[in-house]
Amino acid sequence: MHQDAEEQQLLDKLESARKLVLHLKILFGQMTKSYKKYADPTQVLKSLTDDQGKPVEIGEEKDIGEFNDTFLSRVQEGLNYKQIYKDFVNEKRQKALLAQKQRNMMGGEENKDAARSKQPAEQLGLKTMNSSINVDDNELAEPSPKVDSDALMKDETQIIEKEQIIE
């Protein structure tokens, strides 16, 4: 199964966000059910990543607002990871369909231009001495671009498989 770099980065980011939420659940469960006076937040802190998916350095001096934005963004992504991935896949699918439609339209415009310029052999003046040259009108038209439906179906199947994996 082929994934582009953008999709792989999103999957990595969503997976780390999902792990953050899982570790938060565990931490709050420990604080609620335990009689200890403390709970170790190490796993939560290790699973926190920045917008690029890189682990946030613990002990690095940062603005509290920036840290809060990063933390809450990852929690929100972790809670909504299925919907975020579905939206990404749908957007990618729409872009692919739009690109295919544009390619088809461009091919259609080329075919219209060829049809406009296509003239019967008699109008082209293809006569020599008293005999005419037989030219099939179909030979004068440019071939229309073919749509690779097998490739489109393969892409659609891969997208559906990825959606099933996420669910």
Reported as a single tens digit per residue, the pLDDT across 104-144 is 888 765 555 555 555 454 444 444 444 444 444 444 444 43
pTM check: above 0.85: no
- pLDDT for 72 equals 94
State whether residue 50 is helix, strand or coil.
Answer: coil
Cα separation, 7 vs 95, whole angstroms: 14
Backbone angles phi, psi at 148, to 5 degrees: -80, 85
Residues 6+ apart with CB under 8 A from 53: 9, 12, 13, 16
Backbone angles phi, psi at 93, to 5 degrees: -65, -45
Reported as a single tens digit per residue, the pLDDT across 78-109 is 999 999 999 999 998 999 899 898 888 887 65
- pLDDT for 164 equals 52
Backbone angles phi, psi at 125, to 5 degrees: 75, 35
Q: Which two tokens stand for residue 3?
A: 């994934």
